[in-house]
Amino acid sequence: MITQRAALLGFVAFCFYLIAVVNVLESYFYALTWAAIGIFGASLGTTLLSLIGLSCKIEIKRSRSAASLGIDSGVGPQISVALSNQGTLNKTGTLLDIRLKDSRNMMSTHRFVIEAVPSGASIESDLPLHSLKRGIYTLHEAKLVGSDVLGLFRIQKRLPLNTNVGLNIIVGPAILRTDRAAGGSGGAIPASSKRALQSGHGDELRGTRPYSPGDDLRHVHWKSSARIGELVVKEFEQTGRQAALVVWDGAKNTNWGSGDYNSTEWSLILCASLCRSLLSGGTSCDFVRLDSSPKFIESRSLVGSDLPGHLNDALAEAAAQRQKSLDAAIFELPMMTKRHYSTVYLVTASLSHDVVQAARYWRGRGAMPMILLVDAASLLVQRAEKRFGRPARTRVQNTGNQNIAVTAENYESQLASLRETGAQVVLVGATDASPVLDLQAGLLGIFDPHSVAMRQTDRTTV
């Protein structure tokens, strides 16, 4: 492939050639033309040799991770690269291009520079894939790109992809790692009620379910696994122990803002952070995703320092597209309604009255509702001022029966209505501080009533 640089050099050389011909100049005036031809030939030969004998194998090493939000979210997605140079020349300046396709068929390219691979050498390395947003990606294409020293020509070699090991990369929402464990004060589950990290001790056998990454292999039901051909684990009913439930309200028309100031992303970050805080404190945590495809996820412990794979996948796939009311979506999941929880964490950006009804429902079942209400009005204001330098236009939430303006006043009204049910509520909004600090304040506030009171008194929503 000829680059623009080569085309420009060839055009200049041709112009000098025409000048020399038209003006019948001496032969040494053609020197520039012959020099350009020589450079072209040498560069083309170097380019053709740049990938000869160079082989590369690619596999996805870490397929699950959390997104980043200006914070260290731990180890991100990684690909494992094995390079081998069987040619007689050292390979320098080779590029490795990785193309990922997301669920919307949008492509993103990640480029790595391979500075040098000596002749006869083999190199293995793990390469990180930075700046991936929440979602599910597929490794679409990988290729090596060789060039000459001057960058006049390029040659590409597409690499075969190993489909047997999976080509998907699943990125969950960013996780805020706070120092306060979930067993602290402020309505969180007390330390005396925390369950053990390993299930099966003092619990009653309820049934079986498919194996999920992070499940204890000691609880595999081998007879059922052999019968159906895949791993199945025992599921235990908790006796005398308290559990927490984290619920995400994925109602339609609650996705406002963009970038780092998006209401859906903020609410999912809070859900993921809540789940991690609870699990790291030894508290059993179930997660419910109430969007257009409601899903119930049971989690018993972290996998190392990460969320269990099935929980990360559910968060990565979440989309605010539910059209049914919140209470109708709740009763679509009998697994959730049959269980008794000491604490229910509801994360929502909705102004609909069904959120208040849901708080009353859980209050009537003996649970303590703890609600993180994401103030989308403040997100719209901050996004408009930081990106466009002008006030944001008012958005409207269509709840089916009425249209509710997305304003700070309506969020304050929703806050008051929720508190009347006896629920503990934290209004999480954007301020002049960074999104990370605003989210951390909301997450810490839900575990500390004094922090909540101070936040409601001192916080100024722009």
CATH code for the domain of 429: 3.40.50.410
Give the whole-angstrom CA distance, residue 359 versus residue 418: 7
pTM: predicted TM-score of the whole model, two decimal places:
0.79
Q: Tell me: do 210 and 78 sit in the same domain.
A: no
Q: Is residue 115 part of a domain?
A: yes
- Average pLDDT over the chain reads 82
Confidence of residue 456 (pLDDT cuts 50, 70, 90): very low
Can you read off the two tokens belonging to residue 288?
A: 């419910």
Q: Does one domain contain both 245 and 375?
A: yes
Mean local confidence (pLDDT), 415-438: 92
231 within 8 A of 223, measured Cβ to Cβ: no
Higher pLDDT pick, 335 / 137:
137
For residue 417, what are its two tokens? 């209505």
Over 50: is that where the pLDDT of 185 sits? Answer: no
* pLDDT grade for 247, boundaries at 50, 70 and 90: very high
Angle, in degrees to the nearest 10, between helices 408-420 and 354-364: 20
312 and 211 housed in the same domain = no
Question: Rounded CA gap, 259 and 243, in Å?
Answer: 34
Taking the C-alpha atoms of residue 263 and residue 320, their distance in angstroms, rounded to an integer, is 10
* Residue pair 127/112 in contact by the 8 Å Cβ criterion: yes
Whether 234 and 250 map to the same domain: the answer is: no
* Same domain as 453, residue 423: yes
Which of 261, 265, 314, 256 is CA-nearest to residue 290? 314
Q: Residue 232: which domain range?
A: 201-238
* Residues 256, 222 share a domain: no
Domain for residue 181, yes or no?
no
Whether 250 and 164 map to the same domain: the answer is no
- Looking at the domain assignment, is residue 185 inside a domain? no
Domain contains 286: yes
**Judgement on whether residues 20 and 130 belong to the same structural domain of the protein:** yes
Whether residues 68 and 208 share a domain: the answer is no
Q: What are phi and psi of 349, to 5 degrees?
A: -120, 10
Residues 267 and 227 in one domain: no
Same domain, 224 and 361: no
Query: CATH no. for residue 126?
Result: 2.70.50
Domain count, the chain: 3
* Three-class DSSP category at 290: strand
Is residue 177 domain-resident? no
Query: Could you tell me if 159 and 283 lie in one domain?
Result: no
